[in-house]
Amino acid sequence: MDIDLLKTFVEVVRTRHFGKAAENLYITQSAVSFRIRQLEQGLGVSDAIAMSVPEIPLRQAKLLQASDRIGRLPQAVGRLLDEYVLHEARQTTHVVPNMRYLLTVFLLMSLVLSAMLVFIIPKFNKIFEDFDMVLPDATLNLIGFTCWLGGSLPGQTMPGLAWFLLVLISVVIFHFTRNRDGWFGWLYQQTVWRLPVIKMVHRPTYWAMACHQVADGLDAGLPLEASLQLTSQSLDHCVVAHQFKRWKAGLLQGQDLGDAVKHTGLPKMFGALLSNQAQQQNLPDVMRYLAHYYCNLTQQRQVWLQAVYAPSVVLLLALPTAWICIGMFMPLVVLIQKMAQQTGMY
């Protein structure tokens, strides 16, 4: 992401002077003017930012456009910069291994293990038939699993390996369609919202963005209903947008602020804070507090998930590897014992 463009824009808005912005950024005034022209290109500022910095996700671009309409674009860009700097800081720390590297190792090891299961393990029956011995249960289970992978079980219509490939292709499609509109985006959001581990990070991330958007609307002088409407329209998430629409509908029906939020599916913390009459007098600060709370919660959970990611990948590789090794070596141990008994060694 070209954060120089965003930093320049924020500094120009903050100082309202190209020369002062250039001094604070330690660049020339002509460079500031060039970056602003490059950013705008005849478009609205929010649209120009989205086009000049294509790495910005679609959901962030929509939030920038909504903030631009109510005059809160610098604050939204500042939050975007803070998120990017924090993300880069986590990526540059060498405490956590690179996720793509671990995923590549996992896929390569899976291919190696699958090749062993499909081409080597099924031959164990033929190898040990001449020794007139019964294979251990662990080996028989392993052979049965490999027959399922290869599609050689009686009555099997589709190899198990094909099912694994379908799951892998589905995961890849989900990954590359996560920022799209339409049916694919809706399906991705609904699925990720309910996944046991991923939802721990996914849900508070969107709650934080929504709370920031509502707070921006309130700071711009919009009533709460209009701020909720703006948030539900600009937030690119079907579940969270629906929650805030239900919140607005409850208010329009004459419900109290605390009662209206309790029936939306939002966390109980929303209702606990907004049911307090004293807190209702300072809604922008309350919504900003909720935004910072869920943002910090997301960061904590991301650190925790990154900490367990590497051990989880190692464990997922170690368990099937250990199972294969046990299934392959147990017949050899039984065979050695049988040959020792026949030769009278013991």
∠ Cα 224 251 221 (to 5°): 10
The arithmetic mean of pLDDT across residues 58-62, rounded, is 65
The arithmetic mean of pLDDT across residues 74-99, rounded, is 58
Comparison of pLDDT for 63 and 210, the residue scoring more: 210
Residue where the block lists tokens 């090749």: 115
Worst-scoring range by mean pLDDT, 30-34, 50-54, 114-118, 334-338? 50-54
Distance of CA 71 to the CA centre of its chain: 30
Q: Hey, what are 7's tokens?
A: 């930093």
Worst-scoring range by mean pLDDT, 168-172, 235-239, 242-246, 251-255? 168-172
With a cut of 50, say whether residue 94 has pLDDT above it.
Answer: no
Confidence of residue 1 (pLDDT cuts 50, 70, 90): very low
Distance of CA 281 to the CA centre of its chain: 35
Comparison of pLDDT for 342 and 218, the residue scoring more: 218
With a cut of 60, say whether residue 86 has pLDDT above it.
Answer: no
The Cβ of residue 340 has, within 10 Å, a number of other Cβ atoms equal to 11
Confidence of residue 294 (pLDDT cuts 50, 70, 90): very high
Comparison of pLDDT for 139 and 31, the residue scoring more: 139
**pLDDT computed for residue 95 by the predictor:** 44
Most confident of the ranges 57-71, 167-181, 187-201: 187-201
**pLDDT computed for residue 174 by the predictor:** 73
With pLDDT > 70 as the criterion, what percentage of the chain qualifies? 69
The domain 96-346: what is its CATH number? 1.20.81.30
- State pLDDT tens for residues 27-50: 777 776 776 666 555 555 555 555
With a cut of 50, say whether residue 55 has pLDDT above it.
Answer: yes
With a cut of 50, say whether residue 305 has pLDDT above it.
Answer: yes
Comparison of pLDDT for 261 and 106, the residue scoring more: 261
Q: Domain limits of the chain?
A: 3-92, 96-346
What's the mean per-residue pLDDT of the chain?
A: 76
Confidence of residue 300 (pLDDT cuts 50, 70, 90): confident
Q: Are 181 and 237 in contact (CB under 8 A)?
A: no
Q: Is the pTM of this model over 0.95?
A: no
**pLDDT computed for residue 242 by the predictor:** 92
Burial 284-312 (b: 16+ CB within 10 A, else e): bebbbbbbebbbebbbebbeeeeeeeeee
Q: Are 214 and 227 in contact (CB under 8 A)?
A: yes
The arithmetic mean of pLDDT across residues 79-105, rounded, is 57
Distance of CA 20 to the CA centre of its chain: 39
Q: Are 56 and 65 in contact (CB under 8 A)?
A: no
The Cβ of residue 215 has, within 10 Å, a number of other Cβ atoms equal to 23
Comparison of pLDDT for 341 and 141, the residue scoring more: 141
- State pLDDT tens for residues 168-185: 788 777 767 666 666 777
HEC string of the chain equals CCHHHHHHHHHHHHHCCHHHHHHHHCCCHHHHHHHHHHHHCCCCHHHHHHHHCCCCCHHHHHHHHHHHHCCCHHHHHHHHHHHHHHHHHHHHCCCCCCHHHHHHHHHHHHHHHHHHHHHCHHHHHHHHHCCCCCCCHHHHHHHHHHHHHHCCCCCCCCCHHHHHHHHHHHHHHHHHCCCCCHHHHHHHHHHHHHCCCCHHHHHHHHHHHHHHHHHHHHHCCCCHHHHHHHHHHHCCCHHHHHHHHHHHHHHHCCCCHHHHHHCCCCCHHHHHHHCCHHHHCCHHHHHHHHHHHHHHHHHHHHHHHHHHHHHHHHHHHHHHHHHHHHHHHHHHHHHHHHHHHHHCCC
With a cut of 50, say whether residue 312 has pLDDT above it.
Answer: yes
